[in-house]
Amino acid sequence: MNDNARIEAFIIKFGSFAPKRYSYGEIKKMTNKFNDKLGQGGFGSVYKGKLPNGRLVAVKSLNETKSNGEDFMNEVASISRTSHVNIVTLLGFCFERSKRALIYEFMPKGSLDKFIYSQGTDNQSRQLEWKTLYDIALGIARGLEYLHQGCNTRILHFDIKPHNVLLDENFCPKISDFGLSKLCERKKSVVSMTGARGTAGYIAPEVFFRNLGGVSHKSDVYSYGMMVLEMVGGRKNINVEVSQTSEIYFPSWIYKHLDQSMNLNLNEEITGEEEEITRKLIAVSLWCIQTNSLDRPSMTRVIEMLQGSLQSLELPPRPT
């Protein structure tokens, strides 16, 4: 069966569960001939669009070079099964031979990465309040818990990173980009994988090194932990601009600040409440990035830790 026939069979199998199908002509019309580009990802470009009823949407036009259709089917299969405030809503799709597109709810604030990294070389103060960062971290945790536990079929995302978290007008976070995701039965704890998938800096060690144990929902937990560390530290965990001689391992750099002043961004004064939020975010994320996946908490436990008291949180082992 060729690629197009496989995708058509997949759409038919989905039946009434499939989102609305649009023609390529309708896609061109709703995006005003792909006039307003919002961004670009690994699988294609994203454009702003408007449905006939006036609703604003984001249209992801998939690269034609990704010809096997797996990313397209992954995204439709995964996200069509979801309904959660912290998961982006898929409103429709287009499939006409090599032309493939996915239509999502429009998220006016864009992706999280725009808000968490220090801007420029003078290390300006962060753009978001600590309470907002905490709420975003908690929302993402709830979305991931839903993917892992709340659906009939467990969904492993495999590409959790700031670029794939979108924010609505109230900074409510929504997980997006399910092109690398895998579906697995709830009772199966480990999935089989060929080759590593994900983005450098966020990929759990067991995805690369099979002797560290099986790949599971705990691999998403690791990615979540690295992302939250970035939210706290205000810099990428892999910083190509920093010379290797002066750079220390990013989680170790963060860990040091647990016992020191929490003023991670030197130009910023923070209150006692903000310091507690920061310490809690760091402790939780350091648990999430433990090398042994068995030592990492589930996302349910992550939510409990985030909502619990700082005093009840056991300090994680120093990163290795």
pLDDT of residue 202: 85
Topology of domain 3-105 in CATH is: Phosphorylase Kinase; domain 1 (3.30.200)
Q: Report the chain's mean pLDDT, rounded to a whole number.
A: 81
* Residue 60, annotated as binding a ligand: yes
* Positions marked catalytic: 159
Instruction: Give the pLDDT score at 266.
Output: 41
**Has residue 248 got a pLDDT over 50?**
no
Query: What pLDDT shows up at residue 268?
Result: 60
Percent of the chain with pLDDT over 90: 43
Tens of pLDDT, residue by residue over 46-91, are 999 999 999 999 999 988 765 557 777 778 877 877 889 999 999 9
Across 194-210, average pLDDT? 73
pLDDT at 102 (0 to 100): 92
In this predicted model, what pLDDT tens digit does every residue of 20-50 receive, in sequence order? 889 999 999 999 999 999 988 767 899 999 9
Q: What is the 3-state secondary structure (H, E, C) of the chain?
A: CCHHHHHHHHHHHHHHHCCEEECHHHHHHHCCCCCCEEEEECCEEEEEEECCCCCEEEEEEECCCCCCCHHHHHHHHHHHCCCCCCECCEEEEEEECCEEEEEEECCCCEECHHHHCCCCCCCCCCCCCHHHHHHHHHHHHHHHHHHHHHCCCEEECCCCCHHHEEECCCCCEEECCCCCCEEECCCCCCECCCCCCCCCCCCCHHHHCHHHCCECHHHHHHHHHHHHHHHHHCCCCCCCCCCCCCCCCHHHHHHHCCCCCCCCCCCCCCCHHHHHHHHHHHHHHHHHCCCCHHHCCCHHHHHHHHHCCCCCCCCCCCCC
The pLDDT tens digits of the residues spanning 216-231 come to 899 999 999 999 998 9
pLDDT at 303 over 90: yes
| pLDDT tens figures, 86-123 | 999 999 999 888 888 999 999 999 999 989 875 554 44
CATH class of 110-307: mainly alpha
Q: What ranges do the domains of the chain cover?
A: 3-105, 110-307
